[in-house]
Structure 1
Amino acid sequence: MRIPLASRVLAVARLPMLSRGHHFFILTVAVLIVVSLVAFSFDRSAGFSASDVLLRVTTAVSSTSRVSGVNAATNETLGFAKIILLSLKTRTDRRDTIALMCSVTGIKVTTIIDAVETKDIAPKAYPSGAGLKKLLTDRFHPYVGSWRSHMDVLRYIVDNHIETALVLEDDIDWDVHLPEQMIAFARGIRASSGTMRPRFSQDELARAPYGLDWDIIHFAPSRVDSAPASLNGYDAYSKYTDEYRQSDGIIGAGCQGGWFCWLSLMDKVGLQETERMILPSYNTIGLAAIAVSYTGAQRLLYYLSYSELPDTVDRSISALLQQGYVHGWSMVPPLMAEWKVHDIADSDLLPGDTETYGGANNSNGHSPGIGNSVHRSFRTLFRPEMYWDTRNADLEEVQAGQNELVQAAQRVTEDDAEDTAIVEAPEVKVDEKDVTISMPATAAQTDAGADTDTTSTR
């Protein structure tokens, strides 16, 4: 008696015997796993191309938040409950750009919160504390609007009981491989479980790719300083592999006057070309892309609005991190960065009038330290098709096709003429006794109904 393959496998594995239906199910799952691993290995080994990104559009648009565990990092909200865009209503240009970026990488902004300007805030609603004195100066007065805008985001998270949210400012840029980079980060933070942070609970493992033991995560800082050894007891950090990380050359080229400078910290811990590091946030500055948990939003709303504001909102958060009032993570090199076009339009906080705009555009922009920038990918994805050139080429092809049809028609006409001549020629019939020649009846004979025998015998 022949034993089915599934039964033999289960016997070797010393698993209980199952029904034929269960055997088929197990084999099907095994085949799917093998195929997925092969496809994943092929994708990881392939380079970036326009077709790769366009393929992502057709597949990632249908992704849902039902994916659980670490794999949720690749869904349309990157494993967060919401993705929130903070943007002035007047910056429709940036909202257009974010829509394109999300469509290319299969990401979905779930909520847009309108940023506010200082002139729209009642002085009675200004924050209190030492930070207010700084914010009332001419240089920093526009930052009151920035503070209020971020408080509105925090209040939205608290009001709606959002467990985790990724908050993006509208000048952000990221890599075309961001979903893959996010799942690498999720694996990295999980690998640090039990050393740099407490072990993941079963609930976190099941549905929270980055865990829930944090208030804020900085994905696009402009500066990161690790905590001193006197606080950590050691230099706390964790390395993880990210095969889509940009090269050291690109990272180093982004350094500008002490900002976006990561190589010294990378050299200190000996990062390889395909590695990033995660460390507890200490003196971390930059709000272009942050993740905030529900409890983090509560704490930040309390310290930055209800209590006294010590500085501008970004530096106030840095102060809270250094004091240990809030806790979070930073990564080096960062996953995202601000897109700069080297024009007054780069900032919504600096004064300017219409005459100062238009000196640069997106074709001259860059994002410090980002390798396969989504912004720069547009130049390949949406390269002009040169309609008129292709149209002329198409017309030439059509004309050539028409010429072929005419020639074919002429050949058919000539063939028909030859066939007609053959039909009207005398038909020779060979009999056993004699030879007869049959001539076609003339038209006159046909019309007159003549019954004349046109056959002659020789």
Structure 2
Amino acid sequence: MSSVVSEKFSGFLDSVNTRYRRLEWAAGDVVAWLKWSQRRRTVIMVAASFFAIVLALAGLTVTYVTFADLIHPLPYVMEKTAPTPSTRRLASLAQNETLGFGGIAYLSMPYRTDRQDAIELLGSVYGINFTYIPGVDGGSIVEKAKPLHHYWLRPQELGCWRAHVDAWRYLLESDFETLLVLEDDVDFDANIHDVFELLSTQMQHNRIRTTPATEHERKTAPYGLDWDVLYVGQCSDRSNENRLDLVHIYEDPNMPSRHETFDHFVGQLQSLGIHGRNLGKMRAIAPAWSPVCTMGYAITRQGAERLILDLSYRGITAAIDIDIIRKLQQGIIRGYSITPPLFSAWRVDGAKDSDNQGLENDQTKLGSGNRNGYSHSMKTSARKQMAKLLELHNWDDVDRVIPRRPSPTMTAEQEAEEEEEVRKAHIEKKEIEKAWTERKLEMANIMEAWGG
């Protein structure tokens, strides 16, 4: 009896132990599930936080772009009023072969016939009359003819100085009132006439000038005559921080986008109060203060006189562009700068890129040439557009307009007879091929009936 009870009691304990183990396993599963769920919640919360941050940043970006003009109000902007007939008439002179200036001169070393070819080609395509002024080898200038303090200049800089002075003398010897001076490696917008016509309308409403326009200016000078130098092709620039109130901003449909604009000029525009969506939309006219390079600038007759006085007659103390900057900041000469500039350097890399460094010994490193050339701060590069305008596919055009004839010596009737013979021969060939196919099938059936 006791053994039976002991056996039952032992079975009861085993049953309790089994249930306990099952409860323990179930509890373990619950704990594991809770831990996994906690990790999942953590992952979900981290992911949600990340996406919330991304959405918040996107929202801030959209808000900034949308309200950038309100956050950064523009300084003086030309009122969008219709130009008067007299303003339009004067500005339309920019459509002529000198862009409304008395003349356009370009400087080029005599041995750079490749660059001279390019400039003359651009002039022919875009209706611009360029006058060639030879560059000067600084080493060829005799000692007595060199300006005072010339020893600060390298031979290349001395030659550059002499060529620009020759351009200023060319203006004084002519009957022009203004002259646009360019170097031989420039590029410009394909709509250059429209770009300068718009600039003229802005210059005529220029609030920066200190004297009112004369009757003579209003009739004959599209850009006025109250300046000595007008920078339209500087490499870099900086404005007078004490007179940012003199900035004149205007909208230009041929303005390069922010992406197409050289980073330095983006920074320059921002320093002048142009931000957000207005970048890639607005140009700025400001009193010239620190324009580097002499790639493209206009001068007036009085400006040429002052430049020759201060950079030749009285001597020179630095490279010509640096010395002009000094005169601008000293207030000895007066000028304006256009940002972004209307002319840019055309880059081909290698030894062909610059004459200021002299000819390289290794002439195999000449770069990739004009085919792969490039410029910045241009919406539509005139050089690239020129290649497209002159592109020709003559034989494709001929084939499209004038269908080919089998034999130009045959008459239309003879061609028709030949086409008919070809058609009949084609039909006969098809019939022969069909008969031969049927014959082969018949022979195959006979061979199969004979057992192979």
- Shorter-chain TM-score range: 0.5 to 0.7
Preserved contact between residue 152 and residue 317 of structure 2 (Cα < 8 Å): no
Unaligned runs of 5+ in 2: 1-87, 420-452
Preserved contact between residue 187 and residue 381 of structure 2 (Cα < 8 Å): yes
Distance 1:397 1:407 in 2: 12
Matched residue, 2:151: 133
Select the residue among 184, 201, 204 that pairs with 2:214. 201
Q: 1:123 to 1:410 in 2, by over 3 A?
A: closer
Unaligned runs of 5+ in 1: 1-66, 256-260, 412-458
* Cα offset, 1:393, TM superposition: 7.7
Q: 1:390 to 1:156 in 2, by over 3 A?
A: closer
> Is residue 2:111 matched to residue 1:90?
yes
Matches within 5 A, 1:56-71: 69-71=90-92
Give the partner amino acid of 2:104: I
Query: Higher Cα Rg: structure 1 or 2?
Result: 2
> Is residue 2:256 matched to residue 1:235?
no
Distance 1:270 1:386 in 2: 48
> Is residue 2:189 matched to residue 1:171?
no
Aligned length: 327
Matched residue, 1:162: 176
* Cα offset, 1:141, TM superposition: 2.4
Give the partner amino acid of 1:378: M
Distance 1:300 1:369 in 2: 28
Preserved contact between residue 351 and residue 363 of structure 2 (Cα < 8 Å): no
Select the residue among 121, 135, 144 that pairs with 1:124. 144
Matches within 5 A, 1:299-448: 299-351=306-358, 352-353=360-361, 355-385=363-393, 387=395, 397-399=404-406, 405-406=413-414, 408=416
* Cα offset, 1:91, TM superposition: 1.0
Distance 1:76 1:346 in 2: 28
Matched residue, 2:260: 250
Matched residue, 1:115: 135
> Is residue 2:265 matched to residue 1:262?
yes
Give the partner amino acid of 2:329: Q
Q: 1:392 to 1:237 in 2, by over 3 A?
A: closer
Distance 2:394 2:139 in 1: 47
* Cα offset, 1:123, TM superposition: 1.9
Q: 1:391 to 1:121 in 2, by over 3 A?
A: same
Give the partner amino acid of 1:168: L
Preserved contact between residue 158 and residue 294 of structure 1 (Cα < 8 Å): yes
* Cα offset, 1:340, TM superposition: 0.9
What SS does the aligned partner of 1:181 have? helix
Matched residue, 2:157: 143
Matched residue, 1:292: 299
Structure 1 vs Structure 2 CA RMSD? 2.6
* Cα offset, 1:119, TM superposition: 2.3
* Cα offset, 1:400, TM superposition: 7.9
Preserved contact between residue 209 and residue 226 of structure 2 (Cα < 8 Å): no
* Cα offset, 1:204, TM superposition: 1.1
Distance 1:142 1:265 in 2: 29
**How big is each residue's C-alpha offset from its partner over 1:398-436, in whole Å with a ceiling of 9 and x where there is no partner?**
22885854255799xxxxxxxxxxxxxxxxxxxxxxxxx
Distance 1:357 1:77 in 2: 36
Q: 1:394 to 1:212 in 2, by over 3 A?
A: closer
Distance 2:362 2:413 in 1: 60
Preserved contact between residue 281 and residue 321 of structure 1 (Cα < 8 Å): yes
What SS does the aligned partner of 1:290 have? strand
Task: Using the aligned pairs only, state the percent identity.
Answer: 30
What SS does the aligned partner of 1:249 have? coil
Preserved contact between residue 349 and residue 366 of structure 2 (Cα < 8 Å): no
Preserved contact between residue 196 and residue 236 of structure 1 (Cα < 8 Å): no
**Higher share of residues assigned helix:** 2
Distance 1:294 1:370 in 2: 29
Q: TM-score, normalised by structure 1?
A: 0.66
Give the partner amino acid of 2:414: V
